[in-house]
Amino acid sequence: MGLVGFEGGHVAFLRAGPSRAIGQLAPLCDQFITDRSDTTARESISTRKISTDRVASAAPRPANWLPHSPEGAKVTASQARQGNSTSSVLGRRLGAELLHLRTAAGFTQPQAATVLSASTAKIAKMEGGWVPVRDPDIRALCELYGVHDPNVVGGLLELARVDRERRKAKGWWDNYTIHGVMQEYVTLESAATTVKVWQPAFVPGLLQTPEYVRALRSSPITSAAMSRQSDEEFVAARIARQQRLSGEAPLSLHAVIYEAVLRNFPGGVRTARSQLDHLVGMADLPNVTLQVFPFSAGTHFGLNGSFNIISFAEPGAMDIVYVEAPFAQRWVEGGDGATAYDELFEMIAERSLEEQESVSFLHKLRKELSAVSGFTYRKSSYSDPEAECVEIATNIPTTVAIRDSKNPAGPSLHISPTTWTVFETALREGKLGPFV
């Protein structure tokens, strides 16, 4: 298949087998952010190098070649909303390839539009991934751009076909109200073969119990968009999504969870017990790999936020990464950006507990929770009813439990008796500096 890349102002095509047509499409389409400003340039940043021994041919400049203007790669939000305009991950990937081919051949958007007897806005929307692309349009554009390699044309046609099918796909999500970027995410997840998840804040959605979901819904982290959906509808949608882990050709899931997630459950002990039991059960599934990243493994870049790597074919062939932050989400679509996240995930997994060790760790946490029911809490003699106070339980020989006196059902902190003695001594002596 021909892969388009820029080096020294020329375009070269790399040849690969047709079986990798889709897997290797658009390796230079590194990263695009889903949320767009009113006008966004569809640019791609490439850091890949093309080895000279693999260069097969160079695309000649046509007689009517004109310098390409960056303005030609822009599409306004109002233009994008005309007609059937929904930007999709696969559509943006296809559009990036068409943009590369056009600029490499030296054509402008108006010239491409003339060949299709269409408007310049249509070319802009095609290159931005805003609309599905018809096969005749791809063939006509490839003819104009001087692209005759059947592997290149076939790869573009196949990607366009898959994108059209994704846009028309019907599934469980049609029965529920799903907001924001998750509308696109669940459709991709349903079609994926493998998903790798790093989660430093919450139990991954595919592994959450109904009790855990309800507890999250009642916590301050619930967004305004989520609150518009009833709790039971939200829980039902989450359960429907989790069916992807069972049945024929189930999704392969590799999840790595930070230890802090397993020690700070919304809803307190009751939620924690059922969720830990559920994680142990899910870890037994042949298509689920579950690992725990312990505190003892130290820090790393992944603690900045969670991300999901979605794969549709061979590992790394068509990886798309969904990155989540408190106030924004974005897609990293193929190329070096997706590769970097894949390498980060592998590093996190290598430093995590092995699968069996992780399950043993879950059992250990479950036993600790069983001991919690035997705690007898008492307030400090210095407690002020109007202040933020804690209660402590010291009747269990192996641990000291500390909890918020105003939220007894909330999470509790467990420390060793030795640590508590050191803290209590420093407190009484007024030596709180090291502990603040």
Choose between 220 and 35: higher pLDDT. 220
Give me the mean pLDDT over the 245-263 stretch: 94
Measure the CA–CA gap between 324 and 342, rounded to whole angstroms. 15
**pLDDT at 397 exceeding the cut of 80:** no
Query: Among the listed ranges 5-14, 149-158, 219-228, 295-304, which one has the minimum average pLDDT value?
Result: 5-14
Mean pLDDT of the chain: 75
Choose between 258 and 20: higher pLDDT. 258
How many other C-beta atoms can be found within 10 angstroms of the C-beta atom of residue 58?
A: 11
What is the maximal distance between C-alpha atoms in the chain?
A: 90
How do residues 62-76 score in pLDDT, each as one tens digit? 444 333 333 333 444
Structure tokens at 306: 């969670």
How do residues 124-159 score in pLDDT, each as one tens digit? 999 998 899 999 999 999 999 999 999 889 888 988
Measuring CA to CA, which residue among 336, 273, 329 is closest to residue 305? Answer: 329
Residue 195 in 3-state DSSP?
strand
Question: Can you give the pLDDT at residue 47?
Answer: 25
Per-residue confidence band for 422, with pLDDT thresholds at 50, 70 and 90: confident
Measure the CA–CA gap between 15 and 24, rounded to whole angstroms. 10
Measure the CA–CA gap between 200 and 299, rounded to whole angstroms. 11
Question: Can you give the pLDDT at residue 98?
Answer: 94
Q: Per this entry, what is the length of the chain?
A: 436
Measure the CA–CA gap between 243 and 361, rounded to whole angstroms. 26
> What's the predicted TM-score (pTM) here?
0.63
How do residues 361-385 score in pLDDT, each as one tens digit? 999 998 887 766 666 777 765 556 6
Contact yes or no for 257/292 (Cβ under 8 A)? yes
Per-residue confidence band for 212, with pLDDT thresholds at 50, 70 and 90: very high
Question: Can you give the pLDDT at residue 227?
Answer: 60
* Helices of type H across 64-149: 77-80, 89-105, 109-116, 120-128, 135-145
Question: Can you give the pLDDT at residue 65?
Answer: 36
How do residues 281-296 score in pLDDT, each as one tens digit? 999 999 999 999 999 9
**pLDDT at 86 exceeding the cut of 90:** no
**DSSP track, 225-248:** HHHTS-HHHHHHHHHHHHGGGSSS
Question: Can you give the pLDDT at residue 381?
Answer: 59
Measuring CA to CA, which residue among 414, 409, 403 is closest to residue 378? Answer: 403
How do residues 95-125 score in pLDDT, each as one tens digit? 988 999 999 999 999 999 999 999 999 999 9
Question: Can you give the pLDDT at residue 238?
Answer: 94
Q: In what order do the strands lie in the sheet with 400-404?
A: 378-379, 390-393, 400-404, 412-415
Distances (CA, A) of 54 to 30, 58, 360, 367: 21, 12, 50, 59
- Site of tokens 């982290």: 221
How many other C-beta atoms can be found within 10 angstroms of the C-beta atom of residue 239?
A: 14
Residue 68 in 3-state DSSP?
coil
